[in-house]
Each structure stands twice: as C-alpha cells, then as structure tokens.
Structure 1
Amino acid sequence: MRAVVYTEPGPSSVLRVVDRPIPEPGPGEVRVRLRRAGVNPTDWKARGGSTYGAMPYPEVTPGQDGAGDVDALGPGVSGLRVGDAVWLLLAQHGRAYGTAAEYVVLPAARAVPLPGRSGTADYDLGACLGVPAVTAHRALTSGDGGDRLGPGAMAGQTVLVAGGAGAVGNAAIQLARWSGATVITTVSGAAKAALATAAGAHHVVNYRSGDVAAEIGALAPAGVDLVVEVAPAPNNDLDRAVLRDFGTVAIYANNGGDELTLPVRATFAKNLRYQFVILYGLTPALLRAAADDIGAALADGALRVGEDAGLPLHRYPLAETAAAHDAVQAGTVGKVLLEV
C-alpha cells in the first residue's frame, strides 16, 4: 500500500510517500480501506515536533481523521462488518500509523458507522468529523458523558461560538443548532460571516468593527449560556462581559496567545466555569457519547460540509500530503482533505 511517513520531526519536506505491507488487524482492531483523510492542525504540529519533541516512534504516518470502508476484522470485533462505511477518530493517537495511507488499522471503537453513504460526498463528510466534531461536542457538553446533545437538549440556551468559520466552529454551530440552541458567532469579515451563516448561525457579529459586547448583549439580553472559545487570551474580557451568571467558557485552542490572565474577583462574582478541551485525554465513555451524538446528527442530516454548509473543501492527492499540511498551517479557511 502507499503511505505517507516521516522519520524525523521537521517541516513538511520530511514527509515521504512509500510502499508498505498492508497491515493486519489484531484482537479488537479493524482495518479500513481509506477513501478520504482529514488534515488537522494537530497533524502538522506533531510532525513539526511541538507536540512530542522527540519522535514517539521510529516512523510515523500522520492523520487522526478519515473515512472509508471496513476491510478486515480482528478477533473479538463485534458491531462492524466488512464493507461497512465508517468515519474515524483518533486513528493515530497512541499509534505510529494514521490515516495518510491507503489502509489503516485501529481499535474498533475508533471506527464509527457512517450512515446513509451514497457516494464520495459522504466520505468527504466522514473525513471532516473526528477532531473538529468531537471537539465541538465536548465543548458543548460537560460531565462524565451523561450530558448529551440531541434535538431539544439545548433548547432555551444561547451559545456564542468564537471563530465560527473554522472547522470546529462550523461543527459547533451545526451541533448546537441541531440541539435547539440559539447560536451567535463572531467572525473577522464579510466572507467568513457568509460561511458562518451558511453553517446555520442565527446571528453573526464582526469582531473587528463596532462594540462587540454591546452587539452580543442586544442579541442575548439575559447573557450567553456558553462560549465555545478558540482564542481565550484576547477574548476573555469579552467572554466575561457577555456570559450570564453561572455561564461556561469551553476553551479548545490557544489562538492569539499562550497565557490566559483573568481578574479573579470579577470572574468569581459571576460564578463562571472554565472548561478546557483536548481530545487525547477523553475517556472511552466520553468518546462514545460524542460518536453516538454525532451519528444521530448525521442521520438527521444536521451535519454537512462544503461551501453551502459554511465549510469549503480543499482536496489534495495523497502524494501531495506535504502541500496539504502547509495549507492547514497557513490557515486555509475550510477543511483540507486527502483523496486516498
């Protein structure tokens, strides 16, 4: 099979396309013939050395996300069959080989049925889930997995999604709206406002013009219940100003700065809660809850991708994985996919 590998951390030029034997699944594992692979910022950060420092394995194939068909089952696997269409999550977490390859072997729990597959468009959708949709799910929920999404689950709540034109922001908008919330999002300009509106945001605010806190306050006079935050350092004063008492800030990235400073008295005066989100520490129960809710949203047609859903797709052949990594690192708006 063809696979993209690197044997030392560094720029995208360390990536090579090689031939490797098709791997065999072990107990509790499945093998998936990949059709699409998603590229996320975590991929280039790990490759560049900022995640692990030293190489965690002698050879690494990047890629946490993807979609394809179950090709083989290891001993003890139930609930999946050969030929099932699946989307993948955390395919490379704790393993050397991820989704930038023609085949991948991974624990069966990380291969989730892709309902209603009717062509390559659905492989595109499946490869856009994983990191963005599971991150968005966790940002919108809390607790040990008992807090779930679904129609009516967030009825009466107002959610502010910072950076609604990004992949996580797009998924958060769609999942929150599916769950019944009113969704406000902030963006940096007209083009991104159009994308956030296409994703389903009820209200879009340009954070580069006007009094943003006043605009959000007019839209949510009682205060926002939850902020899905991509840039906590520059946005903390705004978040505190627009949140209701007992509101929550769910932080999943460090855009705009690595240090977050907040005024203690003004923050605890509102009984605010801060939730930090990273997928790699989530328990199996939390991952299963996310996969189940995302599957239900897919079945309802509530998760979409493409320009008309606010998430433009940028496709690269497997041989151009380096260029795909560079595109994500450069901040390409939309979702970068590998055609496997």
Structure 2
Amino acid sequence: MRLLIVTDAWYPQVNGVVRTLDTVAREASLQGHTVGFVTPDQFRTLPMPTYPEIRLALFPGRRLARLIASFKPDAIHIATEGPLGWAARRLCLKRGLPFTTAYHTRFPEYVQARFRVPAALTFRLMRRFHAPSRGLMVATRSLFQELAGRGFANLRQWSRGVDLERFTPGPKDILPDLPRPIFTYVGRLAVEKNIDAFLALDLPGSKLVVGDGPEMARLKAAYPQVHFAGARHGDDLTAHFRAGDVFVFPSRTDTFGLVVLEALACGLPVAAYPVPGPADILTPETGALDEDLRSACLRALGLDPAACRAHALSFTWGATAAQFVENIAPFRQDWPAQAVATGRPVAIPHQPGPRQPAAHQPGETA
C-alpha cells in the first residue's frame, strides 16, 4: 500500500510529532508499505510567530496537488492542523478523497497559554478541521474520551512506542558531580511544558534539565541552581536519561509524552500530574501521579527501576505502525487514480476490484 503523510511538523524540528511520524513510516516500510511525506521543506516558508524554528508553508495548494498526484497514494493521512494540513484537507474534500487525521497537539491549550485566546474558540476550529476525517487518531484512551465529550467524531486509538534498543538501563556516572538524587526533565523548553512547576519545587539532591527551546534563557536566569545540559542526541541523550533517579514530567497538555516511555525504558520511575498521557501510560509500580508534584517526586524515588523497564517493553513501534495502518482510509479501490491526479471528482465504481499492495521502495518521498 502507498501511504502519503502530510505534515506541518518535520525536521529540523525535534519533537514527539516528528519522531512519531518518522519512526512509524520506517516501521510501516518494514511491514511492506511505501510511505511518502509532504513536508514544509518542499515549499516556501515563513517562521511561526513565537516559534521561529517551526516553518509554515506559504500558499501550498498547487504544489501540494502536484506532489500528491506524482506519488499516486492509496491513502492520505493529514497529521497536523497547519497550512499544509488545511490545504490537504481542502484538496481531499474537493476531489472526494477520504483521509484520516491525528490529534497530536493540544492546540487549544497551547494557544491559550501563548496568546490568551479562549480554548473554546480553538476547539471549535479543531472540530471543524477533523469533522470530515474518516478516522481521527488519538494516542490515549483518556484523550479519546475527552475529545468524544467535546463533540469530536470518528475517533480511533493510536498508541506510541519506544526504541528499546537505544533506551536501555546502564551506568549513571555521566554527571558525577551532581548530588543525588537527581530529578530529570527531558524535552522542549517551552511555556506549555509547565517546567516552572518542577524547577520551583523544594527537592533534595539535584535537578537536571535536558533540552532546548524558547524558554531556555529565562529558565536559566530564574533557576541558577539547576543543571541545564542543553539538547542531547543519540547515545548522549540515553546517557543523560540514565543519569537520573526520577524522571519528572510536569506538562499538563501533552497528548502522550514519548519521553515518559524513554525514561521508563532506561529504568527511571516517573513523577507527573494525574493527567491524560502519564495517567494512561504509568502504573503504580512505574510512576507516581499526584496534584502535589513534590509528593509525586519523592514517592517515585522508592519505585523499582526493573519494573519500569519491564513495563516499557510492552510499547513497541512495530505495533504502533500496524495500528496506524489499520486506522487509515484507503481509497484507490473505490476512487480511481484520476481523482487524485485531477481536480475533478470521479464517480465511485459500483463493484471495485481487489486492491493489490504496492511494492516497497525504501526511502521514497513525495
């Protein structure tokens, strides 16, 4: 099957959305599918206000149509609600092509935090965006129930995975001068991550922050006693996970939290608020959930690292990719190829023939 993913979030961004899409595409390719991408780097862009590292595509409609036509997909997945997402949605509706979408990011809460726009207004826009989707994929059962209660339809669950070969328990000697216990945060330094709620806590030992982002300068000035390690990658990132004794996840707005799985895979118990994401991932043996985050941090110190690693083993990217493929809405058996290649809707055949999977072409992109 030929799967085309349209996303406004892509490299050089480093976030959960990009990592999820990239990893799922590689796993789906291993399962025999051909996956292509339409991403901002294929268009003229401008920087997103307050987030200049995120590039927004300018007037993508015509080029997007050509990219889709050249790829000849069997299914289209619209991953984000940015300019590319809206353009792909508009094109699919115009041509009568079914598509799926995903709720990766809590835009209503993020927009409210950054621009003080009431969340109810943004939720209305999000419902409009996702309403025609044949399947709106969400990462957790809690988010599924929340969105259903807000009037979102056609919901499908789509979990996440962790690279169990990269993120493993190991030596904790990378930061020997930091007093223990070490409470660790890994992720973007941005206002919506609620990092102050962690850094302001009165905790024994040390606090370690790994990552970069627009809040870096402010946080370093406000909390000079915290060790800021900056952005880390590959084995260096794994080593910084391992260095900690407890992983602290202060966000109240993430839809999942891939770093929670990565911490568990490295043997770190997790302290977090009892909100969707952590509440769906963690068990009493692997994490402490509490509205009093300090209490959660101290309780997490007593949890067994081996239990954390064992729990992480149940989250594989292969299963995540298979779930994604199961959720998509293929159309070439019902919608002939000329519907993709032209701007004119095409009548649906009464008795479509069987659809044959496309050959795997490693590394292919739109």
TM-score of the superposed pair, with normalisation by structure 1: 0.27
Larger Rg over CA atoms: 2
| Greater helix share, structure number | 2
TM-score of the superposed pair, with normalisation by structure 2: 0.26
| Greater strand share, structure number | 1
